[in-house]
Amino acid sequence: MPADGHAQSPASLLGLADRGLSHVEDSLNLIAALAVFFLMFVGVAQIVGRTIFDFAIYGYIDWIEQASSLFAFLGIAYAQRLGSHIGMDLTMGWRTSLRWKIELFGTVMAWGIIAILIYASFTNFLRAYSIGDSTMDIRLPTWPAKFMVPLALSVLLLRLSLQTCGYIRMIAHPDAVPIAVPKLITIETQVEDEIAEALGREEIKK
């Protein structure tokens, strides 16, 4: 309880949880970005080595396969927080209150699907760990890469949980400032963004 003797409001707690989870998502996204850089570096080294020096990186395919799980999954919660997953918004012209309800429905459905995927992927990780599963070429253990999947999905599940609370809050208080949810894009804001982008390109041409 704060020093003034008043308990924190649900909105402040939601904002605190959102900021705390955002740090975790940013860190995982940074690891995913470093994995992409690693694959780019290794790929260039492999091509140059085979073309010029007749030298290949030992276990190149195995390393690529294992590292791909990092950039493929670790940034998924980060993208969910920003609302940057690919989608088609057919409700932009609808009233805001209804759009919040639709977002809540989609988030709850996603929560259920991700929960099932976490169970399945964690079971797959445990099986790989217990039997000592490894890659075909240089025998790298596969369980670390397989563990990345339930780990990343668990962070995504936490993000979806916060967004569910955020959408319920916006439905109950439509005039409140959105917390832990992406801001809804209206037709007006989309047009303004497209105009600004077009004007920016014109300035570059000049």
Kindly report the number of other CB atoms within 10 A of residue 73's CB atom: 21
Q: Phi and psi dihedrals of 134, rounded to 5?
A: -145, 170
Cβ neighbours around 88 below 10 Å, total: 5
Per-residue pLDDT at 136: 85
Angstrom distance (rounded) from CA 37 to CA 30: 11
The pLDDT tens digits of the residues spanning 42-58 come to 889 888 988 888 888 88
pLDDT tens-digit profile of 49-85? 888 888 888 888 888 888 888 888 999 999 999 887 7
Complete DSSP assignment for 88-133: ----TTS-HHHHHHHHHHHHHHHHHHHHHHHHHHHHHHHHHHHHT-
Helix 60-73 and helix 143-172: axis angle, to 10°?
10
Report pTM: 0.82
Structural domain boundaries in the chain? 10-200
- What pLDDT, on the 0 to 100 scale, is given for residue 201? 57
